[in-house]
Amino acid sequence: MTICLKVKIYKELSMSVPLILTILAGAATFIGAFLGVLGQKPSNRLLAFSLGFAAGIMLLISLMEMLPAALAAEGMSPVLGYGMFIFGLLGYFGLDRMLPHAHPQDLMQKSVQPLPKSIKRTAILLTL
């Protein structure tokens, strides 16, 4: 087997793995959206656990995968990198405190109206 053919096979394999993972992620999103629209309302404990788990995973990915890769870039100072990361966190919390906003979807409020049928139909059509 020539080197050119080996490189071609490697490139094909290296492109198929991300493609398969992307298709699996899209399928999981579709299945989750479908179950969320058609299923019964989950309990508040399940929603709180799911949101906390998702937030923890996102923080883990940003701290363990993205930040070290950014700090390894040529010309990047670790002090500057970590400083900007903390500055971004503080900026987010500052904006969250300063900007007025309401959370009508908050599950602790008892006055939340159920979704109309037209919105549910739109959600189903958008997931397809």
pLDDT tens profile 24-77: 988 988 888 888 788 788 787 888 888 889 888 888 887 788 888 888 888 888
Tell whether the model's pLDDT for residue 17 goes beyond 80. Answer: no
- CA–CA gap between residue 59 and residue 92 (Å, rounded): 14
Tell whether the model's pLDDT for residue 87 goes beyond 90. Answer: yes
The pLDDT assigned to 110 comes to 61
Tell whether the model's pLDDT for residue 90 goes beyond 90. Answer: yes
Tell whether the model's pLDDT for residue 10 goes beyond 90. Answer: no
- CA–CA gap between residue 86 and residue 35 (Å, rounded): 37
Tokens of 60: 């883990």
Give CA separation, 74 vs 41, 78, 86, 105, in Å. 49, 11, 21, 44
Average pLDDT, integer, range 106-120: 63
Greater confidence (44 vs 102) lies with 44
Average pLDDT, integer, range 106-114: 60
